[in-house]
Chains A and B, each alone.
Chain A
Amino acid sequence: MNVLTVTNLTMRFGGLTAVNNVSFTAARGHITAIIGPNGAGKTTLFNCITGFYKPSAGSIAVSPEPGKAVQLEKLPGHAIARKGRVARTFQNIRLFGGMTALENLMVAQHNRLQAATGFGVLGVLGIGGYRAAERRGIELARHWLEQTGLVERADDPAGALPYGAQRRLEIARAMCTEPALLCLDEPAAGLNPRESAGLNALLRKIREGGCSLLLIEHDMGVVMNLSDHIIVLDHGKKIADGTPAEIRADPVVIGAYLGEGEEDDPDAPVAEHAA
């Protein structure tokens, strides 16, 4: 069964249709990439899936575990992470800059820990299972800090970390919500080739851990190398859908990236791969 099924999704802003009747599926345990030229509607699609926009039409079904389905477009924004088990990162990093890396990861486990405090009351009085829950929370945070190579910086404020480390910390924070589907908005943006290779390894490790991934990416090196499945958007419409090899050879995709006088577009490395 697919972890994500998007059916006839449309998102309009006034007269502008940013996403037009898009349908696709993301298979469980796969890395699915959404690519497309600038302004193709990738981030809008993402914001619909993660509940930041209410779609104008269409449905989004997520299956946090086999045999269970949740309609995301009906949930309030904050319930998507909890009930749909969808986590996300942001194109422009959104960490809690004044809190330490560890605190960032603890905030990500808010719902589970908050339940353990008896909604604050028992926690303040120091009774109940909060201590044990917090210890488990710290262990989970430590696990993801180790996976992302940030354990040395655990007690440093997130805002003081270097750019690449902030990107990794944002992924670690999303993973601390224990998602079934992790949505990454341009995770490789601004990374140097070495960091980019490290990111590939991290994302593969996350996939092996049983979490499905959905990513928007401009870096074709990352996309072609990593994805099991690619969806191409242009002007809000899906123009192609297939494996990396199929996408690379698709004349419509090459046209979308190269056509209409955009030969000098820096986002056109698909042509290089295709050539």
Chain B
Amino acid sequence: MRPLARDLKDAAAVAFFAFLIFGPFIGLPLSNNQAGNLTLGTRPQALALAVGAVFLARLGLLAWARWHPAPLAPRFTIKLQGAGRFIAPVLLVFAVLMPLLPGLPNAYIDLGVLIMTYVMLGWGLNIVVGLAGLLDLGYVAFYAVGAYSFALISLNFGLGFWECLPIAGILAAFWGVCLGFPVLRLRGDYLAIVTLAFGEIIRLVITNWVSLTGGPNGLLGMPQPSLFGLRFSMAGGPGTFAGFFHITPAPWQRTAYLYYIILALALLTNWVTLRLRKQPLGRAWEALREDEIACRSLGINVRNTKLTAFAIGAFFGGFAGCFFAARQSFISPDSFTFMESATVLAIVVLGGAGSQLGVVLAACVMIGVPQMLQSLQIYRMLIFGLALVIIMIVRPRGFISTRRPTVTLGKRGGVIGADLVSQGRG
């Protein structure tokens, strides 16, 4: 009896807050009358329905939680972790073969390119947030630096995509170090605020430095990536991909080529991260996330170690930016808003900070699902938001929150549960 009373009280409290929130939105609709004036009406039934639904849903949730006392997460975790060994190679094979599937519409390959770009950004940010535990809310700055580096160098000096790619990465890493030097003595929330500001500063500089960047109008006409000098052109003819191989030019060829570029860049990011993780630098990052003071007592140069994380993360962000600019042939400051940083960070957190496979799954959810739900129109973001909330309730530390040891003494390579792994405080 007592638990029931407590549940009822809890549900009533939740319903009260629902009433406060829904009251103005549902209970007091505004409408246009014939004369074109706004009038305020009331909808008591609709409001009662919404609040009642919240009350019952909360009661049901509590009853369900009582019925399943064990939390869901550990069971899922073990299963996902075991499956991880198989999921990753299967996903890789699928990713490689995907553009070659017969009859696949070009739009799907294009979506693949988009998702893969975010996978790469997620993997880049995962170094900073997941491994080193530094909360970076301005990752888009390095994406922008990479994109504008490519655009400006190719437009002013006539260099192609492949020559610009390393330059864009190095410039982004340089800015990562420039940002890192002053701010890495900050921790946690303060670091997050400063990185957020840095992202905005870069965007505002790009917007206002009209003579160099074209300001809000952006930059146009960057060259497309070429395959060993072969261009992708719908016209065909000598010097183009289709002309060289004597095939009919088709849009999917170019999209598929872009797809393979970003796949290769993303896999490079992943490979470097996985290698580094098993080496002193990566271990030092993870140790920093766990306990910075202990690191210092062991003779680890905390500032330099954080800087390398920032620089390497930024380097891959710059690569992704360069690719983005080449794919679009057009960039403007609108592509580098805080929303992008937030999306990439959401991918890392949703996937489970530090997990490479988690980033892939989360990128598919975060980028793929809204695209798939296009037909639901205005309900699209509602359902998407609800899905994210449910995922975070069921898996509060992301899809894959466990950690694998980087070195073992015995054969047995255990898995470390999320409750032991620290999330880092910057």
A residues lining the B interface (CB < 8 Å): 50-52, 77-82, 87-88, 90, 94-100, 102-103, 106-111, 113-114, 117, 120, 123-124, 126, 130, 134, 138, 141-142, 145, 151, 154-157, 159-160, 173-174, 177
Contact = CB atoms under 8 A, between A and B. Distances in A.
A96 B272 contact: no
Given A96-B286, A102-B407, A107-B284, A160 B297 contact: no
Contact-residue size bin, chain B (C-beta under 8 Å from the other chain)? 35 or more
Nearest to B295: A107
Given A97-B420, A102-B405, 7 more contacts: A98-B421, A98-B422, A100-B407, A103-B407, A113-B279, A155-B409, A160-B420
B43 interface: no
B301 interface: yes
Given A106-B283, A107-B283, A117-B281, A95 B408 contact: no
A113 B290 contact: no
B410 interface: yes
Contacts of A151: 409
Contacts of B409: 102, 138, 141-142, 145, 151, 154-155
A138 B280 CA distance: 12
Contact of B275 (A81, A108, A124, A141): A124
User: Interface centre among A113, A114, A130, A145, by most B CB within 10 Å?
Assistant: A114
Contacts of A141: 409
B408 A102 contact: yes
A124 B268 CA distance: 11
B405 A103 contact: yes
B302 interface: yes
Contacts of B403: 98
30 contacts: A51-B296, A52-B296, A77-B296, A78-B300, A81-B298, A87-B297, A87-B298, A96-B291, A97-B421, A98-B416, A98-B421, A100-B405, A102-B407, A103-B283, A103-B406, A107-B280, A107-B283, A107-B287, A111-B300, A113-B279, A117-B281, A120-B308, A123-B276, A126-B275, A155-B414, A157-B417, A157-B420, A173-B298, A174-B297, A177-B298
Nearest to A125: B275
Given A98-B403, A120-B276, A124-B276, A111 B408 contact: no
Given A87-B298, A110-B284, A155 B405 contact: yes
A78 B299 contact: yes
B413 interface: yes
A108 B408 contact: no
Given A102-B405, A124-B279, A155-B410, A111 B299 contact: yes
A176 to B, nearest CB: 8
Given A81-B298, A96-B290, A103-B406, A159 B281 contact: no
A73 B276 CA distance: 34
Contacts of B287: 96, 99, 107, 110
A114 B281 contact: yes
B414 A82 contact: no
A51 B410 CA distance: 36
Contacts of B279: 113, 117, 120, 123-124, 130
**Pairs of residues from A and B, 4 with the lowest C-beta to C-beta distance, nearest first:** A81-B299, A98-B421, A96-B290, A154-B409
Contacts of A173: 298
Q: Which of A82, A90, A97, A103 has the most CB of B within 10 A?
A: A103
Nearest to A115: B280
A154 to B, nearest CB: 4
Nearest to A123: B279
Nearest to B275: A124
A151 B410 CA distance: 10
A173 to B, nearest CB: 7
B290 A99 contact: yes
B410 A159 contact: no
B294 interface: yes
B387 interface: no
Contacts of B294: 90, 94-96
Nearest to B409: A154
Contacts of A52: 293, 296-297
A13 to B, nearest CB: 18
B412 interface: yes
Contacts of B406: 103, 106
B286 A108 contact: no
A124 B272 contact: yes
Nearest to A101: B409
Given A110-B280, A138-B409, A88 B290 contact: no
Contact of A157 (B272, B281, B410, B416): B416
Contacts of A107: 280, 283-284, 287, 295, 298, 300
A64 to B, nearest CB: 12
A99 B285 CA distance: 12
A108 B280 CA distance: 10
A216 to B, nearest CB: 15
